[in-house]
Amino acid sequence: MQSDETSIRVGKKTWWTCVFHHQDSAAFLIVPSRGKDVVEGFLGSHRPDYWVSDRLAAQVGWATKEHQVCLAHLIRDAQYAIDDGDSLFAPKLQELLRRACAIGRRRTQLADATLRAYSPAISCTRARIFLRF
Protein backbone atom coordinates (compact mmCIF):
# COMPACT_ATOMS: atom_id res chain seq x y z
CA MET A 1 0.00 0.00 0.00
CA GLN A 2 1.20 3.48 -0.81
CA SER A 3 -0.44 6.72 0.23
CA ASP A 4 -0.07 10.46 -0.05
CA GLU A 5 -2.15 13.58 0.30
CA THR A 6 -2.26 17.09 -1.06
CA SER A 7 -4.35 20.11 -0.18
CA ILE A 8 -7.35 21.25 -2.22
CA ARG A 9 -9.69 24.19 -1.77
CA VAL A 10 -13.35 23.35 -1.19
CA GLY A 11 -15.28 26.57 -0.98
CA LYS A 12 -13.12 28.74 1.24
CA LYS A 13 -11.69 25.88 3.28
CA THR A 14 -8.67 23.62 2.89
CA TRP A 15 -9.58 19.98 2.36
CA TRP A 16 -7.33 17.09 1.39
CA THR A 17 -7.11 14.79 -1.61
CA CYS A 18 -5.84 11.49 -0.23
CA VAL A 19 -4.69 8.72 -2.54
CA PHE A 20 -4.26 5.09 -1.57
CA HIS A 21 -2.45 3.02 -4.18
CA HIS A 22 -1.86 -0.71 -4.42
CA GLN A 23 -0.40 -2.43 -7.50
CA ASP A 24 -2.70 -1.46 -10.39
CA SER A 25 -5.48 0.30 -8.48
CA ALA A 26 -5.87 3.61 -6.69
CA ALA A 27 -8.56 5.25 -4.59
CA PHE A 28 -8.90 9.00 -4.17
CA LEU A 29 -10.75 10.61 -1.28
CA ILE A 30 -11.48 14.31 -0.87
CA VAL A 31 -11.91 14.89 2.84
CA PRO A 32 -11.76 17.79 5.32
CA SER A 33 -9.01 16.11 7.38
CA ARG A 34 -5.84 14.15 6.75
CA GLY A 35 -5.86 12.51 10.17
CA LYS A 36 -5.78 8.87 11.18
CA ASP A 37 -9.57 8.75 10.99
CA VAL A 38 -9.32 9.04 7.18
CA VAL A 39 -6.94 6.07 6.95
CA GLU A 40 -9.00 4.05 9.40
CA GLY A 41 -12.21 4.83 7.52
CA PHE A 42 -10.63 3.76 4.24
CA LEU A 43 -8.97 0.58 5.52
CA GLY A 44 -11.62 -0.62 7.93
CA SER A 45 -10.19 -3.70 9.62
CA HIS A 46 -7.73 -4.48 6.80
CA ARG A 47 -4.03 -3.93 7.53
CA PRO A 48 -1.53 -4.28 4.67
CA ASP A 49 1.77 -6.05 5.25
CA TYR A 50 3.79 -3.14 3.84
CA TRP A 51 3.10 0.58 3.59
CA VAL A 52 4.97 3.40 1.83
CA SER A 53 4.19 7.02 2.65
CA ASP A 54 5.74 10.33 3.52
CA ARG A 55 6.42 11.05 7.17
CA LEU A 56 2.85 12.13 7.99
CA ALA A 57 2.11 10.55 11.38
CA ALA A 58 -1.46 9.66 10.40
CA GLN A 59 -0.12 7.25 7.75
CA VAL A 60 2.49 5.53 9.91
CA GLY A 61 1.84 2.40 11.94
CA TRP A 62 -0.78 0.72 9.73
CA ALA A 63 1.46 -1.95 8.17
CA THR A 64 1.61 -5.32 9.87
CA LYS A 65 5.24 -5.92 8.81
CA GLU A 66 7.10 -2.81 7.65
CA HIS A 67 6.67 0.86 6.83
CA GLN A 68 8.93 2.63 4.36
CA VAL A 69 9.32 6.35 3.97
CA CYS A 70 8.68 7.40 0.37
CA LEU A 71 12.01 7.73 -1.42
CA ALA A 72 10.64 10.38 -3.79
CA HIS A 73 9.83 12.58 -0.79
CA LEU A 74 13.33 12.03 0.62
CA ILE A 75 14.92 12.86 -2.75
CA ARG A 76 12.86 16.07 -2.85
CA ASP A 77 13.89 16.95 0.71
CA ALA A 78 17.56 16.33 -0.16
CA GLN A 79 17.14 18.67 -3.13
CA TYR A 80 15.76 21.35 -0.78
CA ALA A 81 18.94 20.97 1.32
CA ILE A 82 21.13 21.17 -1.80
CA ASP A 83 19.28 24.28 -2.96
CA ASP A 84 19.87 25.76 0.48
CA GLY A 85 23.64 25.26 0.18
CA ASP A 86 24.37 21.75 1.49
CA SER A 87 27.15 20.45 -0.74
CA LEU A 88 28.36 17.60 1.48
CA PHE A 89 25.65 15.35 2.89
CA ALA A 90 22.52 15.95 0.79
CA PRO A 91 24.07 15.29 -2.65
CA LYS A 92 25.44 11.91 -1.53
CA LEU A 93 22.16 11.01 0.17
CA GLN A 94 20.26 11.96 -2.97
CA GLU A 95 22.62 9.82 -5.07
CA LEU A 96 22.02 6.84 -2.77
CA LEU A 97 18.24 7.29 -2.91
CA ARG A 98 18.23 7.63 -6.71
CA ARG A 99 20.27 4.44 -6.99
CA ALA A 100 17.82 2.60 -4.73
CA CYS A 101 14.94 3.83 -6.91
CA ALA A 102 16.70 2.67 -10.07
CA ILE A 103 17.22 -0.79 -8.58
CA GLY A 104 13.60 -0.83 -7.45
CA ARG A 105 12.35 -0.09 -10.98
CA ARG A 106 14.27 -3.13 -12.24
CA ARG A 107 13.49 -5.35 -9.25
CA THR A 108 11.09 -7.69 -11.07
CA GLN A 109 13.69 -8.39 -13.77
CA LEU A 110 16.56 -9.01 -11.35
CA ALA A 111 17.50 -12.40 -9.98
CA ASP A 112 17.53 -12.89 -6.22
CA ALA A 113 21.33 -13.29 -6.33
CA THR A 114 21.68 -9.94 -8.10
CA LEU A 115 19.50 -8.23 -5.51
CA ARG A 116 21.61 -9.76 -2.73
CA ALA A 117 24.75 -8.50 -4.49
CA TYR A 118 23.32 -4.96 -4.56
CA SER A 119 22.62 -4.98 -0.83
CA PRO A 120 26.28 -4.76 0.36
CA ALA A 121 27.06 -2.17 -2.33
CA ILE A 122 24.26 0.07 -1.10
CA SER A 123 25.26 -0.53 2.51
CA CYS A 124 28.86 0.43 1.70
CA THR A 125 27.68 3.55 -0.11
CA ARG A 126 25.52 4.45 2.87
CA ALA A 127 28.46 3.89 5.24
CA ARG A 128 30.69 6.14 3.09
CA ILE A 129 28.08 8.88 3.23
CA PHE A 130 28.03 8.85 7.03
CA LEU A 131 31.69 8.05 7.71
CA ARG A 132 33.22 10.54 5.28
CA PHE A 133 32.41 13.56 7.45
What does the DSSP 8-state code read for residue 35? S
| Same-domain check for residues 77 and 124 | yes
- Judged by phi (left if over 0) then psi (alpha if -120 to 50, else beta), residue 80 lies in alpha
**Total domain count for the chain?**
2
75-87 tens-digit pLDDT: 999 999 999 999 9
- pTM for this structure? 0.74
Count of positions (residues) in the chain: 133
| Same-domain check for residues 58 and 45 | yes
- How far is residue 32's CA from residue 8's CA, in Å, rounded to a whole number? 9
**Residue 95 is part of which domain span?**
71-131
Question: Can you tell me whether residue 23 is helix, strand or coil?
Answer: coil
- How far is residue 123's CA from residue 101's CA, in Å, rounded to a whole number? 15
| Same-domain check for residues 61 and 103 | no
Q: DSSP readout, 37-92?
A: HHHHHHHTT---SEEEE-S-GGGSS--SSEEEE-HHHHHHHHHHHHHTT--SHHHH
| Same-domain check for residues 64 and 11 | yes
When pLDDT is averaged across residues 12-20 and rounded to a whole number, the result is 97
47-74 tens-digit pLDDT: 999 999 998 999 999 999 999 999 999 9
